[in-house]
Structure 1
Amino acid sequence: MSDLQPPSVTGRDHALKIASEGEFLDGVFRVERYNHSLVDITPGSSSSSAPIIVTEIYPNKALQQIDEAIARVRRLNQDARAYVSAALDKRPDCEALERKLLHDNPGFSQVTYDLVINDAFAAQSTQLAQR
């Protein structure tokens, strides 16, 4: 599975591997990304995958650290959506929003930044197609 592909139920092992072997923030991002992909599973599908529980992957982290990491991942996602919206609208503040995305969300790997922007573009494309 390519890192830039949308997560899938079959990507659970991949998400767990990345989360357990990588940096903490990137791992929490991968778990949240995988768990979010479960929302898109059609009811009645044959999948028996369950959400990944962050506290089970990082038992040595305090609950406050995990909550803060999840909040940072959510902010990263929100900022990426703002950047992508500006890019698609060809707004003049697009480049400034990209710099702001990176500046306001330090500590993630380049792969995570690429993934979050890719996911935001994919989400916007889906929304536009449904209109």
Structure 2
Amino acid sequence: MVPELTVTDFARSLDFYQRILGFHLRVRREDPDFAYLCLGEAQLMLEAYHPQGWNVAALAPPLGRGINLQIEVDSLTPLLDSLAANQIGLYRKVKESRYLIGETEACQREFLVQDPDGYLLRFSEFIGEEPAG
């Protein structure tokens, strides 16, 4: 699944995802502005808001209410350093979470941050697995 996010300021969003979060550009189109981005195995698309877009209702900030996008990364540290250097606050601070998978617990560190339009991004770093108990 590759989510496509409608954004209100394409240049600002593209800068946020590329420069601050480290996504790489895979495809770029104009009229309307569009980008297909990758970070490791994670992929997402950005499209500038335009009247002919797939807009089911009026857009009101924060965009993406009711959804968060989990993006798995090898390490949270570079992201946290870049966000701090760019004075971007976290929506939720780093915490360790455990998820039961059968008879095993998967452990990960995660934090949440909002992009310029308010889309909620949850970055997670896998720590390991251990028997549930």
Report if TM-score (shorter chain) is over 0.5. no
Higher-helix-fraction structure = 1
TM-score w.r.t. the length of structure 1 is: 0.27
TM-score w.r.t. the length of structure 2 is: 0.27
Higher-strand-fraction structure = 2
